[in-house]
Structure 1
Amino acid sequence: MNHELKIWPQYFARVKDGTKTFEIRNNDRGFQMGDTVLLKEYVPTQVGEPGHYTGEYLARKVGYVYRAEGNSVVFSLMPLDWRVNE
């Protein structure tokens, strides 16, 4: 399954440079190992300005998925060529 997700610039930069290798999300999409996420850089609403996409994006595979309390998940971000070992 493919998921398009907003990501704020400070987090986008850390994923891009490789220092942020995970996402913490509400599991309203049913994230599964092997899914693809398209992280679209999004500048949130500021006083007097609406939020907007920058046009930058990163594609990653969902690796390990940890189902946390409530409806939250933490999942690893893997390169697109990563494959699930069955």
Structure 2
Amino acid sequence: MGKTVSEEEKTKKSWDSNAITPGTPFMDLLASSLRYWVVQKINTDSGWKNIQVIISDAGVPGEGEHKIMDYIRRQRTNPVRSSSSL
């Protein structure tokens, strides 16, 4: 591209995309941190008081998009819930 690369850019360690692979310490920490954050929000933020949060992290088999679509399909087959049960 004709760009001059600085010494800092040459020696900069790149981020390893393998870190986001299921079973890695990064993904375990991410899942744990996300669970902690959700519990904290539910316990401290009144806007979160009556909502249901579903976490389907790397510990649950399947690709994210497929898990989401499967959940949507299953919800369509369930009877409609009344607003008081939400």
Normalising by structure 1, we get a TM-score of: 0.21
Rg (Cα) greater in structure: 2
| Structure with a larger share of its residues in strand | 1
**Between Structure 1 and Structure 2, which shows a larger proportion of helix residues?**
2
Larger relative contact order, structure 1 or 2 (CA cutoff 8 Å, min sep 6): 1
